Amino acid sequence: MSTFIQVYRNKSKHSHLFLVLCIGFILLGIVGLLLFFISEKPLIPFLNEASYFVLIFNGAISFWLVWSSMKRAKYFVAWNDREISYLLPKAEKTVFIPIENIKSIDINISEIIIGLKNNETRHFNLNYFFFPERKTITDFFEKLKEANQAVSID
């Protein structure tokens, strides 16, 4: 069984199209301002120079929001029967942990501390997840902890 949970959900399938639209607003505002200041004739007859500033500002803010949303879509946690993998914010690369290499698991309110057999420790921050996903993740690690304790007792 395999599970994949995204940290930040980007539900928009048309993000690239929206980015192009934002760039269009920025360019329209810049060209409108240039034409207004050069020839004092507006590009669009019913807009004044303040409207072009609003187009530029609105386009830039919208572009930044969509761009940051698209960048955050890469963060995830996933597991299957053999390994756990995750990429969380403030991490440089994806972490892969084979389940057979796990020695101990400590579950706190805000993080899960995974002790490995080679004496390394991995910290998994739960603060990035909302309740339903957090519950799913903690349930998985609870089952893994119980299974690990049962193996260490035998």
Tell me the domain boundaries of the chain. Answer: 9-72, 79-153
Residue 154 has pLDDT above 80, yes or no: no
List Cβ<8 Å contacts ≥24 apart for 105-114.
105/141, 105/144, 105/145, 105/148, 107/138, 107/141, 107/142, 107/145, 112/137, 112/138, 112/141
The residue whose two tokens read 């810049």 is 30
pLDDT digit string, tens, across residues 24-38: 999 999 999 999 888
Residue 126 has pLDDT above 70, yes or no: yes
Segment 104-131 mean pLDDT: 91
Tokens representing 93 are 């690369």
Backbone angles phi, psi at 108, to 5 degrees: -105, -175
pLDDT digit string, tens, across residues 64-114: 999 988 888 888 999 998 999 999 888 889 999 999 999 999 999 899 999
**What fold, for 79-153?**
PH-domain like (2.30.29)
CB-based contacts of 89: which residues, under 8 Å, 6+ apart?
Answer: 7, 72, 75, 128
Question: In the 8-state DSSP scheme, what is residue 75?
Answer: -
| Integer Cα distance of 27 and 42 in angstroms | 14
Residue 150 has pLDDT above 70, yes or no: no
| Integer Cα distance of 113 and 10 in angstroms | 28
In 29-42, which positions are buried (b, 16+ CB within 10 angstroms) versus exposed (e)?
Answer: beebbeebeeeeeb
